[in-house]
């Protein structure tokens, strides 16, 4: 059975606003993400449909909190101890010190991260 742990996952992203460790387990990617500072990464999703993340995520908030919003105006805040599901078409705002473990379909995550990565390389700034 495939498995991973945070301390075994390689650091793939290390920026002031995020440390991300990612491991593929079959058709899903497990993400261990920490957000040292509060941020609004919405500008990084420019170029995706509706300028929003189109990948579903299932996760657990280990520490801190974050909020997610949708085009229809629905918004929810998740706190330490919450399990959550983010449907496609969301944007997030991250609280300082937030830490999550997330499970995402690898194909959809890679498509999303290709756009986010290109925006980061182009110098797009988070808020």
Contact 55, 36 (CB under 8 A): no
Task: State yes or no: pLDDT of 105 exceeds 90.
Answer: yes
pLDDT digits (tens, 9 = 90+) for 50-65: 999 999 999 999 999 9
Tell me the pLDDT band of 5, cut-offs 50, 70 and 90. very high
Q: How much is the pTM? A: 0.94
Task: State yes or no: pLDDT of 69 exceeds 80.
Answer: yes
E-assigned strands of the chain? Answer: 11-15, 18-25, 28-35, 57-63, 65-70, 75-79, 83-86, 90-94, 98-105
Across the chain, how many H-helices and E-strands are there? 1, 9
| Beta strands 57-63; 83-86: pairing state | antiparallel
Displacement of CA 101 from its chain's centroid (Å): 9
| Beta strands 18-25; 28-35: pairing state | antiparallel
User: pLDDT at position 57, please?
Assistant: 98
Residue extents of the structural domains in the chain: 8-41+57-103
User: pLDDT at position 46, please?
Assistant: 98
Tell me the pLDDT band of 115, cut-offs 50, 70 and 90. very high
Task: State yes or no: pLDDT of 72 exceeds 70.
Answer: yes
Q: Report domain 8-41+57-103's class.
A: mainly beta
User: pLDDT at position 1, please?
Assistant: 63
pLDDT digits (tens, 9 = 90+) for 79-93: 999 999 999 999 999
For residues 37-54, average pLDDT: 97
């Amino acid at each position: 059975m495939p498995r991973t742990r945070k301390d075994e996952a390689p650091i793939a992203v290390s920026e002031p606003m995020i440390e991300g460790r990612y491991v593929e387990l079959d058709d899903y990617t497990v993400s261990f993400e920490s957000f040292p500072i509060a941020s609004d990464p919405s500008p990084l999703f420019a170029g995706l449909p509706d300028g929003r993340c189109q990948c579903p995520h299932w996760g657990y908030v280990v520490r801190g909190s974050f909020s997610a919003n949708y085009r229809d105006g629905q918004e929810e805040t998740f706190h330490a101890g919450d399990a959550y599901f983010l449907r496609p078409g969301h944007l997030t705002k991250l609280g300082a010190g937030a830490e999550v473990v997330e499970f995402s379909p690898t194909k959809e995550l890679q498509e999303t991260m290709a756009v986010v990565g290109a925006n980061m390389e182009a110098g797009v700034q988070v808020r």
